[in-house]
Structure 1
Amino acid sequence: MSAAAAPSPALPAGPLVAFYGDDYTGASAVMEVLSFAGLPTVLFLGPPTPAQLARFQDRRGIGIAGVARSQPPEWMDEELPPIFEQLAALKAPISHYKVCSTFDSSPEIGSIGRAAEIGERLLGGAWHPLIVGAPAIARYQAFGNLFAAIDGTGYRLDRHPVMARHPVTPMNEADVRRHLARQTALPVGLVDFVAMKTGRAEAQLAAERAAGARILALDVLDEETLAQAGRLVWEQRGERLFALGSQGLEYALVAYWRDAGLLEAEAPTPPPARAEHIAVVSGSCSPITAAQIGHALDNGFEGIRLDATRAVDSQAWEREIARGTAAALKVLETGRDPLIFTACGPDDPAVPALGHAIEAAGIAPAQVNARIGDGLGRVLDAVVDRAGLTRAVISGGDTSGHAGMALGIYAVTALAPLAPGSPLCRAYAEGAHDGLEITFKGGQMGRPDFFSAARGGVANH
């Protein structure tokens, strides 16, 4: 009698990854990677109720989107612990604090270091991998330094034309270890790409941990190092592991699972049908979004600018919201699609004007930014409801969080890819927006024709 065949390897049952996204666009990017790899995932737009969670109990990825990227450390101390406790209760082998692929953060706003300290206490693990690089979205890390490409040209992040000029968290240090050291006392180490390519990754990981490193940045330059990073995380996870990083973490895990025969190759996802009309709101100041706005205005969209300086006064802002809503509905009556925005790139005079208005009013910038995001969401809420639209786009990482909450959506699942990091989603809501197709687009994501592609249902890679 022949010996029994060895059992084929398999991923454990239940949720594989439980994650919190520090902004809505980034959180939807994690959902995209897992979902289109054949691992059904749900993203809640706030801490779910037991009934809401039970509706998606078969999901392999479960995430909660938030707005930590735009908040101070004191906010994190108050808001993150109960969310992390909810993630811990899911008992996934990997818990992930998802950050932007351009590492947007500072000691004062969106502190990844403070989130790491809270996560270490509540989500545990013997070490904490940090994976930011992701070739699929043109993010690369070499010897701990982060690079991002635009239109095929790569930039070290402290020389990046967008991130070096970010209005809230400008990047002036490309080494993620040094950048993170400004935000936390947790020691940060590195497993570099040379160690990964020469079979010394485990040895370097062990040496760094022995030297006291708690957070270990893993270089990712190409598909080989991506899969090697995923292997380190999965094989060295222990009983549970708290990880930090972009959707690069999920890309790495998927790459390794496929290499190891734990996951089948990706099946193509059919594109969605064309929408007759859509509405777009944008609070992004990115030059990439500016190019997308310019393209849209030449291709069937009509721009409606909201004066963000009015957000320093609540009553003036209410009047501006009402004006924007009325104008958007009128645009739809003409057969065009409304694009409601507050700025068109970093050089738009609206950007410094808002800063001056905030300073003159003596109001906290975070409060004004939240009010702007909420106002854009309320405009979109009213326009979608009154015009009966079935598809919408929210552009801007910080904007998406506040605007998404204003829509009353409690969860989304991925429907189809549009651009890496910005999938078209199906919304779940208790009210009118249940079933709405929506995309949360980060400022750095998508080609110039992204908004047209979102309307037409065409993948924008």
Structure 2
Amino acid sequence: MKLGVIADDFTGASDIALMLSEAGMQTVQFVGVPASNNLSGSGINCDAGVISLKSRTEPAEDAIRHSLAASDWLISQGCEQIVFKVCSTFDSTDEGNIGPVTQALAERLGEQTVLVCPAFPENGRTVYQGHLFVGDTLLSESGMQNHPLTPMRDPDIRRVLSRQTTWPVSHIPHKTVQLGAASILDAAKTETGSMAIVDAITDEDLIAIGKAAAGRRLVTGGSGIAIGLPANFGVTPHHQAWTGTNGKAVVLSGSCSSATRGQVKHYKQKAPSREIMVEDVIGGWLSMEELIEWTISQDEPPLLYSSADPETVSQVQQRFGRDKSASAIENLFSGLAAALVDAGVERIVVAGGETSGAVVSGIKASALEIGPRIAPGVPALRVAGQPLALALKSGNFGGPDFFEDALHVLGAGS
């Protein structure tokens, strides 16, 4: 391996894996830190290894421990550079985990100044004057302020990051980025032990940042940061082969983002659907056997969803508690996915980072092969060694027809 990625959730991992694959890197996504240091016997050979963690909402000390283990494994595979991949909306709390994990990784790897950029212009995420925008709207007004686990109410990610780390946080403005990699490098020559938020509003900006990152041991950012990194390793784009599967399919949605709620509303008009209520799961009123039987019996790929509006989510959390509510849904989808695969389902489309993590854990996948793009930031995935194809979608990604598009790509191909 040449490049290693530590992703703080599953959809983010497949997001950046797609970017690296499209740039020409043979890329494999691992589910957690592999148990073995020797991949030769598994038949896996890749330029870039992406380790999917579920550390975004973990306690900071757990996120640090898991991220350091991932870094150690990637370095043992020969990786020359590590990317700590975070969400393009910088999802975190004042306690972390972006700052604490970045600082711990930098100290472990010996990196003095870490470039930090969550921008992903293709999906409307840009950083200007240190502020994060979603489209033409500040992060704090984009709907992310209502996120049930990591509400983002401050669009100035310099302030956000400063609250999470003991290292100083500086800013490299867009006018410097426009001057190119050399200017970015000059601006990054700050005191030892620091982080620099880098503005980026176009892919050209990200390419310049990628050039400036050549030779650095650690970079932190969204999937867009990967645009400019493969070229540093002499890699050029080439087509990646993909063969789909047309077996039984299901759509599982646990995301409560506005984009996903729109996709759910759209798909419900075309296919059978069942809403999963938190109170039914916690109360034990939902029959897993009946749910599986109903899903398998449908002629069209059905939708099972728990994608409520912010007001409903808030009421449920007040009644049952945030962690209990989230765990109930995640455990339900984890067990459901495992049972459906056992029943012969070969295509699963998943909406939501936490839901994706639960599904992948439930089906006990250890490595995912990267296929073609379904939508910006979302690739088709094949579970290594199984006739099972997945699409893992971050909540805010994809257009209204995403579920239909994903089922098509997983089946017939791109």
* Equivalent position of 1:10 in the other structure: none
1:34 is paired with a residue of what secondary structure?
helix
Instruction: Find the partner of 1:122 among 108, 132, 135.
Output: 108
Deviates more, 1:272-281 or 1:404-413: 272-281
CA drift at 1:277: 3.6
CA drift at 1:440: 0.9
CA drift at 1:345: 3.6
Q: 1:357 and 2:319 equivalent?
A: yes
Instruction: Find the partner of 1:399 among 351, 355, 359.
Output: 355
* Equivalent position of 1:32 in the other structure: 18
CA drift at 1:77: 4.2
* Equivalent position of 2:171 in the other structure: 190
* Equivalent position of 2:403 in the other structure: 451
CA drift at 1:383: 1.8
- Equivalent positions of 1:303-452 (< 5 A) are 303-311=273-281, 313=282, 316-317=283-284, 320=286, 322-323=287-288, 325-347=289-311, 349=312, 351-359=313-321, 365-366=322-323, 368-386=325-343, 388-428=344-384, 434-452=386-404
Question: In the aligned structure 2, how far is the partner of 1:261 from the partner of 1:191?
Answer: 25
Q: 1:101 and 2:88 equivalent?
A: yes
* Equivalent position of 1:264 in the other structure: 236
CA drift at 1:107: 2.6
Q: 1:302 and 2:251 equivalent?
A: no
Closer, same or farther: CA 208–412 of 1 in aligned 2, 3 Å: closer
Question: In the aligned structure 2, how far is the partner of 1:421 from the partner of 1:197?
Answer: 25
Q: Structure 1, residues 123-147: CA drift from partner, whole Å, max 9, x if none?
A: 2223211121122222111122111
Query: Is contact 1:98-1:245 (8 Å) kept?
Result: yes
Closer, same or farther: CA 207–394 of 1 in aligned 2, 3 Å: closer
Q: Structure 1, residues 359-391: CA drift from partner, whole Å, max 9, x if none?
A: 4xxxxx3354234212202112212321x1211
Q: 1:280 and 2:245 equivalent?
A: no
2:366 is paired with a residue of what secondary structure?
strand
Query: Is contact 2:278-2:328 (8 Å) kept?
Result: no
- Equivalent positions of 1:190-229 (< 5 A) are 190-199=171-180, 202-203=182-183, 205-211=185-191, 214-229=194-209
Question: In the aligned structure 1, how far is the partner of 2:118 from the partner of 2:244?
Answer: 33
In structure 2, runs of 5+ residues without a counterpart are none
In structure 1, runs of 5+ residues without a counterpart are 1-14, 360-364
Specify the structure having the higher radius of gyration (Cα). Answer: 1
Q: What TM-score comes out, normalization by structure 1 length?
A: 0.82
Closer, same or farther: CA 48–122 of 1 in aligned 2, 3 Å: same
Question: In the aligned structure 1, how far is the partner of 2:407 from the partner of 2:292?
Answer: 16
CA drift at 1:82: 2.2
2:108 is paired with a residue of what secondary structure?
helix
Question: In the aligned structure 2, how far is the partner of 1:105 from the partner of 1:261?
Answer: 31
Identity, % of aligned pairs? 26
* Equivalent position of 1:3 in the other structure: none
CA drift at 1:331: 4.2
CA drift at 1:37: 1.9
Closer, same or farther: CA 117–250 of 1 in aligned 2, 3 Å: same
Question: In the aligned structure 2, how far is the partner of 1:203 from the partner of 1:22?
Answer: 30
CA drift at 1:302: 1.6
2:326 is paired with a residue of what secondary structure?
helix
Closer, same or farther: CA 209–67 of 1 in aligned 2, 3 Å: same
Question: In the aligned structure 1, how far is the partner of 2:39 from the partner of 2:221?
Answer: 24
Closer, same or farther: CA 261–246 of 1 in aligned 2, 3 Å: closer
CA drift at 1:83: 2.4
Closer, same or farther: CA 328–288 of 1 in aligned 2, 3 Å: farther
- Equivalent positions of 1:71-220 (< 5 A) are 71-108=58-95, 110-149=96-135, 154-160=136-142, 162-199=143-180, 202-203=182-183, 205-211=185-191, 214-220=194-200
Question: In the aligned structure 1, how far is the partner of 2:37 from the partner of 2:64?
Answer: 27
**What residue identity is the alignment partner of 2:305?**
F
Question: In the aligned structure 2, how far is the partner of 1:310 from the partner of 1:209?
Answer: 55
Question: In the aligned structure 1, how far is the partner of 2:39 from the partner of 2:325?
Answer: 32
Question: In the aligned structure 1, how far is the partner of 2:351 from the partner of 2:366?
Answer: 18
**What residue identity is the alignment partner of 1:243?**
V
CA drift at 1:355: 0.6
1:69 is paired with a residue of what secondary structure?
coil
CA drift at 1:278: 1.2
Closer, same or farther: CA 414–342 of 1 in aligned 2, 3 Å: same
CA drift at 1:450: 0.7
**What residue identity is the alignment partner of 2:174?**
F
CA drift at 1:399: 1.7
Closer, same or farther: CA 306–253 of 1 in aligned 2, 3 Å: same
Closer, same or farther: CA 224–74 of 1 in aligned 2, 3 Å: closer
Question: In the aligned structure 1, how far is the partner of 2:103 from the partner of 2:208?
Answer: 26
Q: Structure 1, residues 216-245: CA drift from partner, whole Å, max 9, x if none?
A: 2222111321211111011xx2xx511111
Query: Is contact 1:42-1:56 (8 Å) kept?
Result: no
Query: Is contact 1:67-1:402 (8 Å) kept?
Result: no
* Equivalent position of 1:362 in the other structure: none
Question: In the aligned structure 2, how far is the partner of 1:374 from the partner of 1:233?
Answer: 39
Q: How many residues align?
A: 412
* Equivalent position of 1:59 in the other structure: 46
Question: In the aligned structure 2, how far is the partner of 1:91 from the partner of 1:331?
Answer: 44
CA drift at 1:203: 4.5
Query: Is contact 2:243-2:413 (8 Å) kept?
Result: no
Q: Structure 1, residues 334-358: CA drift from partner, whole Å, max 9, x if none?
A: 41322111123435x3x13321232
Q: What TM-score comes out, normalization by structure 2 length?
A: 0.91
Query: Is contact 2:2-2:233 (8 Å) kept?
Result: no
